[in-house]
Structure 1
Amino acid sequence: MNFTSYLDTPDFQALALHLMIGLEIPVHIFGAFCILFRTPKSMKSVKWSMLNLHFWSMGLDLGVSLLTIPYILYPALAGFTLGLLSNFNVPLSYQAYLLAVLIGLLGVSIVTILENRYFLLFAQERWWRHARLPFLAFNYIFAFVYFIPAYYYIPEQTEALREVFEMLPELPQDIYSAPVFVLATDFTYVVLPVFFMSNLLVLESAAFIVLIYGNMNERTKKLSLSRHTIKMQKTFLRALNIQTCIPLLILMLPMGYLVTSRIFNIYLQSANNLCFIIIAVHGLSSTLIMLYIHTPYRNVCARIFFSKITDYSRRMSSVSTVL
């Protein structure tokens, strides 16, 4: 049996993600430049937490689009990789663990930036100043270890491969001869750690958002913060929420398909490939939104890019006039 479409093939997956990384790297570098050298004094307190979020967002993009390039035979938890790490014969179990850790660290970086806002605005003189470092340390350590149960229970590959190929429809011969790796035949050891980690991060993020807005409303009523300060902080928080929420909404598209695919046992390789391409778009979209939604960075982009467009238009007009 041959591939029914080019979208089904490993070649398409590799080409698409190679093109993505060619676009992502310059955008991410420019985003890091803006954070490091164009962050104004009014945003100085959030500079390093924003850089931390940007770093892990960029890390996940590089992990998917360059280091691993996953080719997954979902709804089976099996597949192989086409990325740089495979060229250096890094075991697929290590590559799967790397992606899981990068996803966890990205989530923790979102919690970190929200915690940073809450601490600086409202908790510098409260008990939280003693608890925040252990709290943050726990989150980062947990991001590194939460996937250990899935890694520990990786099945014996010969029997696991037999089960996977029996579950899936007839596959192209190229897939049977590929170095297919089975992460798990029992979804429990993968789903439970991911479910626990994701719910923990969602609850922590929601808690800090509620605390920030609750304290802000309380101080507004007491007039302990100026209206200008309140307005400035609300504007920044709104921008931060947009910066984090829109990329997360983008991630919900492939996640929704993967859940549906598992429930109804649907195997569409082209859809599996597109899921990871969408996941790779996450970091790029986060950086582009950051550059647009925060006024100082938007102004930098306008000065650099629009001025060049204007200069080019003027030169072309001059040439036309001469002719």
Structure 2
Amino acid sequence: MLLEALSSPYVYSNVLFIIAGISFPIHLFGEYCILFKTPKVMKSVKWSLFDVHLWSSLMDLFLSFFVQPLAFFPVMAEFPMGVLNRIGMKTDVLMCSGVLIALLVLVSIIKMFKNRYYILFSMHTCWRYIRYSFLTMNYVLTILFVITVYVEIPEDQEFARSVLFKNNPELLQYDIPESPILVIAWSNFRMIYRQLLFTALFLSELIVFTVLIRLNMQKAISEIRSSASCKTFKIHRNFMKSLNMQIAVPIVVICIPSFFGLAVPFLQGNTQGAINFIYIIVSTHGALSTLIMVYLQKSYREAVVQIVGCNRKMEENIRTVMPKAF
């Protein structure tokens, strides 16, 4: 019943608009916490954390508000239903922009772990110079990936759409005049192959930095005798634990549904509703990551307590004044 309802483009769009309305204030509060409530001892990771939060929030809003892609698998085709499409932006530009933002979320996560490893353990090693080439390589690969996606979009969309509808007549019901379906590529194998390679590269880099940080952290803590230094490293260690949990959210919410989405067309039942449901789940990853970040970081939790405390005090003052006024 749920998947059948979500297969409707208009129900799908309305659900995403609701998610956008809920997520947007959460994103803003997360930015406020990072900019103004990050502890001084973690000042070095502040901007890399903000970078991850910014791209994650932007990806959420792209999926749930600005673009709202309605994708069809296993054929490589989609059409947007978001605000930017309604004001006349080209579908291919929106699609490539969404791909770029999704990849930059992954790159920003790697950048944050790279920055943490550099500050803690490799400021006086050769990694001090290699890290720039490493970061540049990731950005270059990201740009090349988006360029290859854009180049493969058929120029003659009318012919591509006629072939698509001839082979998949069930898609005609989704071809609405205000947002015609865009054929992304003739073959989906090369795009899926590139996506798997980039995901494998991202996961391998993430695993390498996580293992290096953990091994060096354990070694450093065991060697340090100063109580002050141990306290500092304890703060960093607790931060890494919370950071790992925060990063696990986009990995679980993005990677697992993405891999499952590749298998959906081979399952029985309402596949379009299942695909739309996967996009809805992915569109919540930034908000979930922000809530976990606020919950795990003591200084961020205190900011919530202060805000809630102020509201409670205002309510108590109003209740105190109201009887006197009457």
- Fold equivalence (TM over 0.5): yes
Q: Secondary structure at the match of 1:249?
A: helix
C-alpha spacing 1:222/1:133, structure 2 compared with 1 (3 Å): same
C-alpha spacing 1:44/1:174, structure 2 compared with 1 (3 Å): closer
Alignment of 1:92-131 (within 5 A): 92-131=91-130
Rounded to whole Å, the distance in 2 between the matches of 1:174 and 1:150 is: 23
What is the aligned partner in structure 2 of residue 49 from structure 1?
A: 48
Rounded to whole Å, the distance in 1 between the matches of 2:297 and 2:27 is: 16
What is the aligned partner in structure 2 of residue 209 from structure 1?
A: 210
Q: Which has the higher mean CA deviation after the structures are superposed, 184-193 or 196-205?
A: 184-193
Alignment of 1:128-277 (within 5 A): 128-155=127-154, 156-168=156-168, 170-171=170-171, 173=173, 175=175, 179-223=180-224, 226-264=229-267, 268-277=271-280
Q: Which has the higher mean CA deviation after the structures are superposed, 77-86 or 150-159?
A: 150-159
Number of residues paired by the alignment?
320
Alpha-carbon RMSD: 2.6
Q: Secondary structure at the match of 1:79?
A: strand
Q: CA deviation at 1:317?
A: 8.7
- Spell out, residue by residue over 1:236-279, the C-alpha distance to the aligned partner (whole angstroms, 9 max, x if none): 10000001102321224532431212445875222222111111
What is the aligned partner in structure 1 of residue 16 from structure 2?
A: 17
Q: Which has the higher mean CA deviation after the structures are superposed, 35-44 or 306-315?
A: 306-315
The answer (yes or no) to whether the contact 1:147–1:194 under 8 Å persists in 2 is no
Runs of 4+ displaced beyond 4 Å: 263-267, 313-323
What is the aligned partner in structure 1 of residue 65 from structure 2?
A: 66
Q: Which has the higher mean CA deviation after the structures are superposed, 45-54 or 11-20?
A: 11-20
Rounded to whole Å, the distance in 2 between the matches of 1:250 and 1:317 is: 47
Structure 1 gaps, min length 5: none
C-alpha spacing 1:272/1:321, structure 2 compared with 1 (3 Å): farther
Q: CA deviation at 1:152?
A: 1.2
Percent identity over the alignment is 30
Q: CA deviation at 1:63?
A: 1.4
Q: CA deviation at 1:307?
A: 4.2
Compute the TM-score of the two structures, normalised by the length of structure 2: 0.88
C-alpha spacing 1:317/1:215, structure 2 compared with 1 (3 Å): same
